[in-house]
Amino acid sequence: MDQLNSNREQWGSRLGFILAAMGSAVGLGNIWRFSYVTGENGGAAFLLVYLLCIIAIGIPIIMAEFTIGRKAQSDAVGSFEKLAPGKPWILAGFMGVASAFIILSFYGVIAGWTVKYFFSYLTGGFSVQNDEAYADVFVGFITSTYEPLFWQFAFMAITVGIVFVGVKKGIEATNKILMPLLAILVVILAGYSLSLGGASEALSFLFTPDWSKLADPNVYLAALGQAFFSLSLGMGALITYGSYLSKKEQLPGAALGVAALDTGFAIIAGLMIFPAVFAFGIEPGFGPGLVFITLPGIFDSIAFGTLFGLAFFFLLAAAALSSAVSLLEVAVAYFIRKFSWSRQKASLIVGGIIFLLGIPSSLGIGPLSDITFFGKDILDSMDFIASNILLPLGGLIIALFMGWGWKKTDALAESDFGDTAIGHAWIFTLRYFAPIAIFLIFLASTGLLDLIKSLFS
User: Closest residue (Cβ) to ligand PHE?
Assistant: 29
**Is 174 a binder of ligand PHE (CB under 6 A)?**
no
Q: Which of 291, 281, 261, 232 is nearest to 38 (CA)?
A: 291
Q: How far is the CB of 110 from ligand PHE (least distance, A)?
A: 9
Q: How far is the CB of 438 from ligand PHE (least distance, A)?
A: 16
Q: How far is the CB of 239 from ligand PHE (least distance, A)?
A: 11
Q: How far is the CB of 324 from ligand PHE (least distance, A)?
A: 7
Report how far residue 275's alpha carbon sits from residue 278's, in angstroms, rounded to the nearest whole number.
5
**Is 30 a binder of ligand PHE (CB under 6 A)?**
yes
Judged by beta carbon, residue 20 or residue 279, the one nearer ligand PHE is 20
Candidate ranges 69-77, 225-233, 269-277, 422-430; the one touching ligand PHE (CB under 6 A): 225-233
Q: Which residue in the set 38, 152, 232, 388 belongs to the binding site for ligand PHE (CB under 6 A)?
A: 232
Q: How far is the CB of 68 from ligand PHE (least distance, A)?
A: 15
Query: Is the distance from CB of 131 to CB of 354 less than 8 angstroms?
Result: no
Q: How far is the CB of 293 from ligand PHE (least distance, A)?
A: 20
Candidate ranges 27-35, 187-195, 343-351, 438-446; the one touching ligand PHE (CB under 6 A): 27-35
Q: Which residue in the set 230, 263, 362, 388 belongs to the binding site for ligand PHE (CB under 6 A)?
A: 230
**Is 315 a binder of ligand PHE (CB under 6 A)?**
no
Dihedral, CA of residue 151, residue 152, residue 153 and residue 158, to nearest 10: 90
Site for ligand PHE in 74-113 (CB under 6 A): 103
Judged by beta carbon, residue 27 or residue 43, the one nearer ligand PHE is 27
**Is 156 a binder of ligand PHE (CB under 6 A)?**
no
**Is 258 a binder of ligand PHE (CB under 6 A)?**
no
Q: CB-based contacts of 323: which residues, under 8 Å, 6+ apart?
A: 23, 24, 25, 26, 27, 28, 29, 107, 232
**Is 350 a binder of ligand PHE (CB under 6 A)?**
no
Q: Which residue in the set 27, 43, 108, 148 belongs to the binding site for ligand PHE (CB under 6 A)?
A: 27
Q: How many CB atoms lie within 10 A of CB 172?
A: 19
Q: How far is the CB of 79 from ligand PHE (least distance, A)?
A: 16
DSSP 3-state assignment of 418? coil
Q: Which residue in the set 235, 321, 350, 434 belongs to the binding site for ligand PHE (CB under 6 A)?
A: 235
Report how far residue 254's alpha carbon sits from residue 22's, in angstroms, rounded to the nearest whole number.
9
Q: Which residue in the set 35, 226, 323, 445 belongs to the binding site for ligand PHE (CB under 6 A)?
A: 323
Judged by beta carbon, residue 318 or residue 434, the one nearer ligand PHE is 318
**Is 73 a binder of ligand PHE (CB under 6 A)?**
no
Q: How far is the CB of 331 from ligand PHE (least distance, A)?
A: 11
Q: How far is the CB of 301 from ligand PHE (least distance, A)?
A: 27
**Is 237 a binder of ligand PHE (CB under 6 A)?**
yes
Half-sphere exposure of 144 (CA within 13 A, CB side): 13
Judged by beta carbon, residue 174 or residue 417, the one nearer ligand PHE is 174
Judged by beta carbon, residue 30 or residue 67, the one nearer ligand PHE is 30
Q: Which residue in the set 327, 328, 332, 336 belongs to the binding site for ligand PHE (CB under 6 A)?
A: 327
Give the N- to C-terminal CA distance of the chain in Å, as an integer: 57
Max Cα distance, the chain (Å): 65
**Is 24 a binder of ligand PHE (CB under 6 A)?**
yes
The angle subtended at Cα 205 by Cα 303 and Cα 194, nearest 5°, is: 20
**Is 309 a binder of ligand PHE (CB under 6 A)?**
no
What HEC string does 183-202 produce? HHHHHHHHHHHHCCCCHHHH
Distant-in-sequence contacts of 77-84, Cβ < 8 A, 24+ apart: 77/236, 77/334, 77/338, 78/334, 78/337, 78/338, 79/236, 79/239, 79/243, 80/401, 83/405, 83/406, 84/401, 84/405
Q: Which residue in the set 16, 29, 60, 284 belongs to the binding site for ligand PHE (CB under 6 A)?
A: 29
Query: What's the burial of 387, exposed, middle or buried (CB within 10 Å: 0-12/13-18/19+)?
Result: buried
CA distances from 93 to 71, 123, 372, 382, 403 (A): 15, 44, 29, 19, 17
DSSP 3-state assignment of 17? helix
| Contacts with ligand PHE, residue ranges (CB under 6 A) | 24-25, 27-30, 103, 229-230, 232, 235, 237, 323, 326-327
